[in-house]
Structure 1
Amino acid sequence: MSGRIEARLAELGVTLTEAPAPAANYVPYVVSGDLVFVSGQIAMEKGTFITGKLGADMDVAAGAAAARTCAISLLSQVRAACGGDLDRLQRVVKLTGFVNSTPEFGDQPKVVNGASDFLVEALGDAGRHSRSAVSAASLPFGVAVEIEGIFEIR
């Protein structure tokens, strides 16, 4: 099913893939009332993990690009939670971004902006959200970024 939001994504050159399967013993999302809680989505592009540590072997621009891939995966999960109809998405409520970074690195917010900026570009005001951006000493599979989200649907 393709609607208004997926048409906008296509304008941006983004085609959503099937929602990624969980990597461990959890579900990819939980729907509670009009909220969808999406489990952390890790940085991947074309089936390959985007690995690295910010402040050591990855710069902010590369980290932001990795965060953008997480946001795309988040939308794939929301689409699955909505039975394939992404136009049921009302707004992004909150993101929590985890950035694989050195103790000295302090630009986690700039990295997570890669996801936030993409969601606003794709969804307009409905993409504006509250957010946390925190450092992590390591992340699964050595990925650079992991982001979880809360979304309001109808």
Structure 2
Amino acid sequence: MTHHPPKIVKSAVWKPPLQGWLKLNFDGSVRAVEVVANYSGILRNHLEDPIFIYSGGLQFCDINEIELCAVKEGVSRLQVCHSKVLVEGDLANIISWYKHPHKAPWLWTSVMDDIQLAISSKNVVFCHVNCEKNGAADVLARSAP
């Protein structure tokens, strides 16, 4: 009889941040037929209470640009009291570029600089998550007019 260790199943649902931290989830959506892209984000505390929700849109852009806009908008809204923030998104490029800015395409350098400036005095951690864990931001981005 072969003994197999139990499989570890990772949760596919959003989890609140630790007490004292906030979590910013962001997402973008591109509708090629309409040449419209929307973004959204939501900042919540450990009790899952929304601190703020935002959304916006652009025309004629790709998913990387709209998701960068989502991050920039979200971090630019952080206040002094929002000193510990976990930023989660489901597009790996954005998270990778934050962690390794020299790998970001030159086209996005100024936006990346704006993001860095907005978070320079805060403890901010960027994490890549699956779509299910980014659900609220995903729904907001897809439902924006």
Q: TM-score, normalised by structure 1?
A: 0.36
Decide which structure has the larger Cα Rg and report it.
2
Q: TM-score, normalised by structure 2?
A: 0.37
